[in-house]
Amino acid sequence: MRLLPAVLIAVVSNLDNLGVGVALGIRGTKVPPIPNLIIAAMTMAGTAAAMTSGRALSRLIDPSTAASLGAVIIIAVGALSLLAALFAGRAPSHAPRVLESESLRRRGNGGKTISYREALVLGVALSLNNIGSGVGAGIAGIPPLATTALAGAFSLLSIGGGSWAGRPLRRLLLGDRAPLASGVALMAVGIAMLSGVL
């Protein structure tokens, strides 16, 4: 049953990745396999580091208290993400700024592909978004290996699939609303954990 929170955390943590993938697709920017792997690797590294820190902290306190604290942290991260989206009108991560970089803004480039350097910058920016939820998940005792692997897998699907689908996905679901959806979903996961549902 502890695998379900890992799946949910991995999915929620990649909503920004999906939004970025969709934005890249709308701009006509292709994401080849290797840059996509770079972004996924950075997402996994950020998740693993955050969860390792969280699990180290969990050893210092009672397991039940640790689980509750982890759930509260996840709720807080979701609430902050939601508030940032509502009042600032943008995601709390630096991904939107990266997308506005000169190299990704250029027009008339005939199907530009994202470079390794751009992929690395995007990967670092997006991995920052996973720190809070990763620490909370680690403290709560959610399996770190499963969560890290799932975060990487969902990142590959989010960036690659979002870029491929492009405009239809933006119309149907996310676009600029990715931070709102991410915040609400994180809060829901944390509340479910706190109440014992997960």
Tens of pLDDT, residues 28-74: 678 899 999 999 999 999 899 999 998 888 788 776 777 788 788 87
Tell me how many domains the chain contains: 1
Q: Among 56-60, 133-137, 173-177, 194-198, which is the least confidently predicted range?
A: 173-177
Backbone φ, ψ for residue 148 (5° rounding): -65, -45
Residue 142, both tokens: 């959610």
Residue with tokens 């509260």: 72
Mean pLDDT on 71-78: 81
108-117 pLDDT, tens digit per residue, is 444 578 889 8
Q: Among 43-57, 81-95, 133-147, which is the least confidently predicted range?
A: 81-95
13-30 pLDDT, tens digit per residue, is 887 788 778 777 767 678
pLDDT number for residue 188: 84
With b for 16 or more beta-carbon neighbours within 10 A and e for fewer, the 85-117 pattern comes to beeeeebbbbbbebbeeeebeeeeeeebebeee
Average pLDDT value for the chain? 77
| pLDDT surpasses 70 at 103 | no
The answer to whether 95 and 126 are in contact (CB under 8 A) is: yes
Mean pLDDT on 142-151: 92
Distance CA 139, CA 156 (A): 26
Mean pLDDT on 115-125: 87
Host domain of residue 155: 3-194
| pLDDT surpasses 80 at 121 | yes
Q: CA angle at residue 75 from 96 to 92, to 5 degrees?
A: 15
Of residues 38 and 122, more confidently modeled = 38
